[in-house]
Amino acid sequence: MKFKVLYYVNQFFGQVGGEDKAGMAPEFKEEAVGPAMGFNGLLQGEGEVIGTIICGDNFFNENKEEALEFIMNIIKEKQPDIVVAGPAFNAGRYGMACAGVAKAVVDELNIPVVSGMYEENPGVEACKSKAIVVKTADSAAGMREALPVMANITKKLVKGEELGLPEEEGYIPQGKRLTVFAEKRGSQRAVEMLLARLNGGEFKTELPMPEFDKVDPAPAIKDLSKATIALVTSGGIVPNGNPDRIQSASAQKWGKYDVSQRDALTGEYYTIHGGYDPVYANEIPDRVVPLDVLKEFEKEGVIGKVYDYFYTTTGTGTSVANATKFGTEIGKELKEAGVDGVILTST
């Protein structure tokens, strides 16, 4: 008999809509929808997607108990052999929804879960100890590569086959330490790694250590009344028409715009950010980039000057590597311009 797969996707991959449908309550369709269709084909007749649960990212994260109650009832009713969620790539809210589903299904129903996420997705840390999370690209452009890996792991889990090492199978390490037998004892392996390192040779550690980015806080501004303050945002506020074509998600660039002759952004600016409801930001962009208040402070003498330009990009889905690159580039410009302080806003 074919094993049964129940699939979970968000509103976008469920072909319901984009950000405008992020608040949709969960619904169930007794068919493969979106990526579940391709996944079903990759099972090659050994298994079958018996249905797709679709839920808006905002709804799940803002109404988690209600969403999980519906989802868990469907899973209990359909009794799948395994649940597949995503892949969510680097979409944070989608990743957290997949993680929430995974944890509930594994903890309460003891049914295995397979998902897929970019390694920087916050959903990874939330569920990697519970589910098998396949390592994916940071955007849906990697769908074709992700689904076969997820399908292969799904088949192995259902058959009760032991998975190989994360780097062999393509999933993110779960942080579990397993006992394995090696040809050489630990002391010999350690000496060989040390010699390889000293001689510039290749070696691979058996226990990778986490890397933490620690940034020392800058000293306080001594006299705000003489300070030049700049505005930087990851809220996606841009001039009408988005002249620099900054991406609405997974940003590859940042923009810089002259506000020296403006007292507010309202009227000629809006947000292209794909990760939050744009209505209120479009109505008054200064809600995200408070140029209006800073200009008032400048007139009142609270601060010395508002810097002539503000900097903008989008934070949703943007990789840590790109965010670091943006910050370094923007920071260099601001330092060279003699800016004393920055107000950094998000959403």
Cα dihedral angle (32, 35, 37, 43), rounded to 10 degrees? -110
320's enclosing H/E stretch is: helix 320-336
Q: Which two tokens stand for residue 4?
A: 């049964």
For the chain, the structural domain boundaries read 3-169, 224-345
Q: What is residue 27's predicted lDDT score, i.e. its pLDDT? A: 97
Q: CA torsion 39→42→46→52, rounded to 10°?
A: 10
pLDDT for residue 295:
97
Tell me the β-bridge partners of 135: 117
What does the pLDDT read at residue 209? 76
pLDDT of residue 276: 86
The closest of 74, 82, 73 to 5, measured between CA atoms, is 82
Q: Order the strands of the 3-10 sheet from edge to edge.
A: 27-29, 47-55, 3-10, 82-89, 113-117, 132-135
Phi, psi of 99 (to 5 degrees): -65, -40
**Can you tell me the distance from the alpha carbon of 126 to that of 123, in angstroms, rounded to the nearest whole number?**
5
* Contacts for 69 with CB less than 8 Å, ≥ 6 apart: none
Let me know how long the chain is.
347
CA 43, 47, 48, 53 torsion: positive or negative?
negative
> 3-169: which CATH architecture?
3-Layer(aba) Sandwich (3.40)
Q: Judge whether 317 and 275 are in contact, CB under 8 Å.
A: yes
Q: Where are the alpha helices (DSSP H) in 128-273?
A: 143-159, 166-169, 186-198
Q: Name 343's bridge partners.
A: 231
CB 286 within 8 A of CB 266: yes
- Show the tokens assigned to 65: 């108990």
* Residue 151: predicted pLDDT: 97
Which is nearest to 249 in space by CA: 72, 93, 38? 93
Q: What is the chain's alpha carbon radius of gyration, rounded to the nearest angstrom?
A: 24
| Per-residue pLDDT at 252 | 84
Spatial distance between the Cα atoms of 60 and 52, rounded to a whole number of angstroms: 16
Q: What is the pLDDT along the chain (347 residues), one digit of tens a residue?
A: 899 999 999 999 999 998 889 899 999 999 999 999 999 999 999 999 999 999 999 899 889 999 999 999 999 999 999 999 999 998 888 999 999 999 999 999 999 999 999 988 889 988 999 999 999 998 899 999 999 999 999 999 999 998 988 989 999 998 777 777 889 998 999 999 999 999 999 988 887 777 777 888 889 999 999 999 999 999 999 999 999 999 887 788 999 999 999 999 998 999 999 888 899 999 999 999 999 999 999 999 999 999 999 999 998 877 777 888 999 999 999 999 999 999 999 88
pTM for this model (two decimals): 0.68
- Please state, in angstroms and as integers, the Cα–Cα distance from residue 152 to each residue in 44, 106, 111, following that order: 10, 20, 17
Print burial letters for 229-255: b (CB count within 10 Å at least 16), e (below 16): bbbbbbbbbbbeeeeeebbbbbbeebb
Q: What is the token pair recorded at 159? A: 């058959």
Enclosing H/E stretch for 116:
strand 113-117
